[in-house]
């Protein structure tokens, strides 16, 4: 099955679901995520949207920090099915639903805070739809609402070494559109996609979509993460922006 738009087959794969479940059981919120959420999501009663929530690693983590009004959304119905099972088993009152970040079923100005989980926004395999997702996020944020997401800093990565990596194996699923697209075979031996931005590109894009940049935080330069976190994720940069 080949997916277009901003959907990816990888998130329907059984081995991917199992890996996410293992991460859910063992990792929970990173130290960096906890710190930034507590710093910028200042109202515990605020409405929070956790985009690309997967099985709910960040969603349940946010709930455990004392936030109660949380919606977890993921484009993969398999991920949401599993998140709902966990929600039921833990007896939590969290809403999980399938949704496309470029076309979300919520009214304008519905959320105080939006988080797009690790590699979520940059994992949308089309510049057109990454920009559309930003427009949706802006629409859904209340005035002065906060959006936090991650993006790899292209200058930190030997991108030319990986340029067009695995394109032959993954060409039926992903199209190389522009410099910065990273098409690869992941640890589950499934084709995957990320776009790697430079800081200058992201500043230009975010300001063009009317976001105000509050902070840009390199994870490993600012936080001490445990061994398990570093086993499942490489370094990333948090972008904190405001409507």
Q: Is the per-residue pLDDT at 7 higher than 60?
A: no
CB-based contact 23:30 (threshold 8 Å): no
Q: What SS3 state is found at 172?
A: coil
**Domain residues for 188?**
9-242
Residue 129 covered by a domain: yes
- CA 166 to chain CA centroid, nearest Å: 23
Per-residue confidence band for 223, with pLDDT thresholds at 50, 70 and 90: very high
Q: Of the candidates 216, 205, 196, 210, which has an alpha carbon nearest to the alpha carbon of residue 131?
A: 205
CATH of the domain at 105: 3.40.50.150
For the chain, what is the domain count?
Answer: 1
Residue 1 covered by a domain: no
The count of other CB atoms within 10 Å of the CB of residue 220 is: 14
| Owner of token pair 């996020």 | 137
Residue 94 covered by a domain: yes
Residue 2 covered by a domain: no
CB-based contact 112:145 (threshold 8 Å): yes
Residue 191 covered by a domain: yes
136: burial class by Cβ within 10 Å (0-12, 13-18, 19+)?
A: buried
User: pLDDT by residue (tens digit) across 71-116?
Assistant: 999 998 888 999 999 999 999 989 999 999 999 999 999 999 999 9
| CA-angle at 124, arms to 122 and 130, nearest 5° | 80
User: pLDDT by residue (tens digit) across 149-190?
Assistant: 999 999 888 777 766 666 677 777 788 888 999 888 877 777
Residue 3 covered by a domain: no
């Amino acid at each position: 099955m080949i997916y277009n738009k901003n959907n990816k087959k990888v998130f329907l794969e059984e081995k991917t679901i199992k890996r996410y479940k293992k991460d859910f059981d063992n990792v929970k919120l990173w130290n960096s995520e906890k710190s930034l959420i507590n710093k910028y999501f200042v109202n515990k009663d605020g409405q929070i949207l956790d985009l690309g929530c997967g099985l709910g690693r960040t969603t349940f983590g946010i709930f455990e920090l004392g936030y109660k009004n949380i919606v977890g959304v993921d484009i993969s119905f398999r991920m949401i099915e599993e998140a709902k099972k966990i929600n039921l088993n833990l007896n939590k009152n969290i809403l999980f639903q399938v949704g496309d970040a470029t076309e979300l079923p919520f009214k304008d100005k519905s959320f105080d805070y939006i988080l797009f989980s690790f590699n979520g926004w940059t994992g949308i395999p089309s510049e057109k739809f990454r920009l559309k997702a930003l427009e949706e996020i802006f629409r859904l944020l209340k005035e002065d609402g906060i959006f936090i997401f991650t993006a790899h800093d292209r200058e930190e990565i030997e991108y030319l070494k990986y340029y067009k990596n695995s394109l032959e194996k993954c060409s039926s699923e992903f199209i190389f559109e522009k410099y910065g697209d990273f098409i690869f075979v992941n640890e589950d031996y499934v084709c995957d996609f990320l776009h790697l931005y430079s800081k200058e590109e992201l500043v230009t894009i975010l300001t063009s979509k009317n976001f105000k940049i509050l902070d840009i935080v390199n994870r490993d330069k600012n936080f001490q993460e445990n061994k398990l976190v570093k086993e499942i994720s490489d370094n990333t940069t948090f972008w904190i922006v405001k409507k």
